[in-house]
Amino acid sequence: MSLYNTQKFLYELNRDEATQARYRADLEALIGGFDLTGEESNALREGDIGLLYVLGVNGQILMHYAAFLGIEWFDYLDQMRAGIEKYGPVRAGVYAMTGGGDSFTTEGKES
């Protein structure tokens, strides 16, 4: 697992408009520039928020990436929860699970 490299990919994508342009023009080439596992590459290729969360990507990085992908806030939270359901608990990084993944927001998508 190369969580460091996965987060570095997202860090550079989040803050650098030139990297964002490369992402849109040739994602495979961008991914190829980082030493990533197949699972990590697929997660980035598919924008799999749930898997990236389970792999241990910091929320401050993941949240901005989700916004870049145009994922709405409640969908972002749901995709992390679905990731836990599908892939199991967070495997690495600063957080293992800090709670059960319940919603603590009284507001909802309908609001």
Partner 1 sequence: MSLVYAGVLSHAPGITGRADLAKNTGLRDEFYAALDQQRQEIEASGAEALIVVAAEHFANFFMNNMPAYCIGIGDRYEGPIEDPDWLKIAKTSVPGAGDLAAKITREVMHTVDVAYAEEWKFDHGIMVPLNFLTPQYDLPIIPVNINCQGPPLTPLPRAWAFGEALRGACDSVPEKVAIVGTGGISHWPATPDSGKINEAWDRDFLDRLMRNDRAALMDYDDEETYQEAGQGGFEIRTFITIAAAAGGLGELQFYTAELPIFAVGCTVAKFSLDSAS
Pairwise CA distance, residues 72 & 65, whole Å: 11
Task: Check: CB of residue 19 under 8 Å from CB of residue 12.
Answer: yes
Radius of gyration, alpha carbons of the chain? 14
Give dist(CA 104, CA 12) in Å, integer. 30
SS3 68: helix
Q: Tell the smallest beta-carbon distance from residue 76 to partner 1 (Å).
A: 8
Shortest Cβ distance from residue 38 to partner 1 (Å)?
23
Binding site for partner 1 (CB under 8 A): 4, 7-8, 11, 14-15, 53, 58-64, 67-68, 70, 73, 77, 80-81, 84, 94-95, 98-99, 101-107, 111
Kindly state the smallest distance separating residue 108's Cβ from partner 1, in Å. 9
CB of 77 to partner 1, least distance (A): 6
Nearer to partner 1, 8 or 41 (CB): 8
- What is the Cα–Cα distance from 77 to 71, expressed in whole angstroms? 10
SS3 15: helix
Toward partner 1, which CB reaches closer, 11 or 87?
Answer: 11
Of 29 and 69, the one with the shorter C-beta distance to partner 1 is: 69
